[in-house]
Amino acid sequence: MQELSIFWFRRDLRFTDNTGLYYALQEKENILPIFIFDEHILEKLNHKDDARVSFLHRTITSMHEQLRDVGSGLSVYHGKPKDVFASLIKSCKISAVYANRDYEPYATSRDIQIDEFLTSNGIGFYTFKDHVIFEKEEIVSGNGSFYKVFTPYSKAWKAAYHESKPSIKDDTLKSKNWAQVEPQKIPSLESLGFQSTKIPIPSKQVEDVLLEHYGEKRDFPALKGTSRLGIHLRFGTISVRQLAKKALQTSDVFLNELIWRDFYAMILANNPHVIDQAFKAKYDHIPWRNNEHDFNKWCEGKTGYPIVDAGMRELNQTGFMHNRVRMIVASFLTKHLLIDWRWGEAYFAEKLLDFELASNNGGWQWAAGTGTDAQPYFRVFNPYAQADKFDPNKKYIQQWVPEWNTSNYPKPMVEHKFARERALETYKTALEG
């Protein structure tokens, strides 16, 4: 039996500047690339036309075709990763498995299990940093503890970046070390229990000119001022190192956003409790109202607050919502409606194309005031003032809420001043109690 090594693609779906893949092909011959549609993950998705699964399937298919052109191919499985490896080691002689690290709690425990299983079968499991620029223990304060506040973290991050200058790895497709395999068929989307979506996926090309004007335009949702690269960073169809290099040449403000991404990944990796608890324990005492009727109005974009409704409708129709508006709708849900941030977080997780556990959780806890570096609870966004400042001509509102300013548009579901005072009182009592 021919000896193979495996490269296991997960959230790193590209051939260029893919750290683990680069080292696998440098260090071993006969690299068999695999991808597993993980049952644990797919089972949790409620919508059969989930755009992220369609995107994943399309990306996998295109990678398979590119590998076919070099005489290889992607072996694609549907199941539980441990079962897939158990069956693989029965059918081939495997000397090593390479992968890039994934820091989400489920992925971390899965990888510990796979590592134990492979090691007990005499197979090495080698993992690499790829999804972030700096991992959880690389940027620490003077006393060795992790940062809880963004600004000092970002300063330390930049110093470390300039010192280490992360290198960009070559394209791997031309390597001689791909296993030459018989072409296999990829499971269809339908056989995985899904169907294709009509939601368009943003391009992964980003123009320099967009980044050059990013600092001036990024806060205005009616403008095309941000990159929309979230989904590509989430699945690794682009390299964060290449993007950071580009940011360094074009926009410091954009670089800062990439640092936020590392920051929240670091926070989650060091504090896995944040997935279902407040980062700051005392905020777990807030008595949320959790009114389901109110929550549904928020989800549907029928709150009577035009900027909130525009954001929610943009999300429901496109899988995207502008960052400024994410902050406004999240503040509205948690402060105006006193609904648990975890409800909003779960709704975003279901809808966002760029859903990333760490950033979503960080964004929600920031808005609710429960997280790191939090917006103090007494700062409650005024949705009218936010709309006047960031959508001054109401173009964004008109785009998503065509009936705004007509008799068909609902009245505000709660009065702003009343809701603000209720939130302040509720938070104050909970935190002092």
Ligand X SMILES: Cc1cc2nc3c(=O)[nH]c(=O)nc-3n(C[C@H](O)[C@H](O)[C@H](O)COP(=O)(O)OP(=O)(O)OC[C@H]3O[C@@H](n4cnc5c(N)ncnc54)[C@H](O)[C@@H]3O)c2cc1C
| Residue number, 139 or 327, with CB nearest to ligand X | 327
Contact with ligand X (CB under 6 A) among 352, 374, 387, 401: 352
Nearer to ligand X, 169 or 261 (CB): 261
Is residue 218 near ligand X by the rule CB under 6 A? yes
Instruction: By CB under 6 A, name the one of 360, 370, 375, 386 that touches ligand X.
Output: 360
Nearer to ligand X by C-beta: 31 or 201?
201
* Burial class of residue 223 (count of CB atoms within 10 Å of its CB; 0-12, 13-18, 19+): middle
157 catalytically annotated = no
288 is catalytic: yes
List strand residue ranges (DSSP E) for 228-302, in order: none
Q: Determine if 250 is a binding residue for ligand X (CB under 6 A).
A: no
The yes-or-no answer on residue 290 being catalytic is no
Closest to ligand X by CB, 110 or 232: 232
Burial of 304 (0-12, 13-18, 19+ CB in 10 A): middle
Contact window for ligand X (CB under 6 A) among 3-11, 80-88, 347-355, 391-399: 347-355
11/228 with CB nearer ligand X: 228
- Residues facing residue 6 across a β-bridge: 32, 97
Structure tokens at 159: 């110093």
29 or 350, CB closer to ligand X? 350
Q: Is there a contact between 106 and 81 (Cβ–Cβ < 8 Å)? A: no
Q: What stretches of 10-124 show up as alpha helix (H) in DSSP?
A: 19-27, 39-42, 51-68, 81-91, 105-120
Reading across the β-sheet that carries 31-38, which strands appear in turn? 75-79, 31-38, 3-9, 93-100, 124-128
Torsion of CA 347, 348, 349, 351, to 10 degrees: 90
CB of 137 to ligand X, least distance (A): 20
- Which window, 58-66, 127-135, 253-261, 395-403, contacts ligand X (CB under 6 A)? 253-261
Q: Does 154 bind ligand X (CB under 6 A)?
A: no
Closest separation between CB of residue 414 and ligand X, Å? 20
> Among 184, 176, 230, which Cα is nearest to 60's?
184
The amino acid sitting at 334 is: T
Q: Tell me if 367 contacts ligand X by CB under 6 A.
A: yes
- Candidates 270, 323, 382, 404; catalytic one: 323
Least distance between ligand X and beta carbon 348 (Å): 5
Residues 33, 221, 230, 383: which binds ligand X (CB under 6 A)?
230
Give the count of residues interacting with ligand X (CB under 6 A): 26
CA distance 17 to 10: 15
Q: Is 107 in the site for ligand X (CB under 6 A)?
A: no
Question: What CA–CA distances, in Å, run from 248 to 123, 229, 251?
Answer: 40, 17, 6
Q: Which residues contact 169 (CB under 8 A, 6 or more apart)?
A: 16, 17, 18, 19, 22
Structure tokens that stand for 404 in this block = 């705004």
Q: Which helix (H) or strand (E) holds 397?
A: helix 395-400
Residue 274 in the binding site for ligand X (CB under 6 A): no
How buried is residue 64: exposed, middle or buried, by Cβ count under 10 Å (0-12/13-18/19+)?
Answer: buried
Look up 341 and say whether it is catalytic.
Answer: yes
**C-alpha radius of gyration, the chain, whole number:** 23
- Known catalytic residue: 356? no
Let me know how many helices (H) and strands (E) the chain has, helices first. Answer: 19, 5
Residue 36 near residue 259 (C-beta atoms within 8 A): no
Compute the least distance from the CB of residue 187 to ligand X, in Å.
27
If binding is defined by CB under 6 A, does position 307 make contact with ligand X? no
Active site residue 116: no
Minimum CB separation from ligand X for residue 294, in Å? 18
235: contact with ligand X by CB under 6 A: no
Residue closer to ligand X by CB (options 9, 220) is 220
Which of the ranges 268-276, 298-306, 311-319, 350-358 carries the binding residues for ligand X, by CB under 6 A? 350-358
Catalytic residue among 39, 212, 257, 350: 257
Build a one-symbol-per-residue string for 311-340: x at contacts with ligand X by CB under 6 A, - elsewhere. Answer: ------------x--xx--x----------
Site residues, ligand X (CB under 6 A): 218, 226-230, 233, 257-258, 260-261, 264, 323, 326-327, 330, 348, 352, 354-356, 359-360, 363-364, 367
> Which amino acids are annotated catalytic?
257, 260, 288, 323, 341, 364
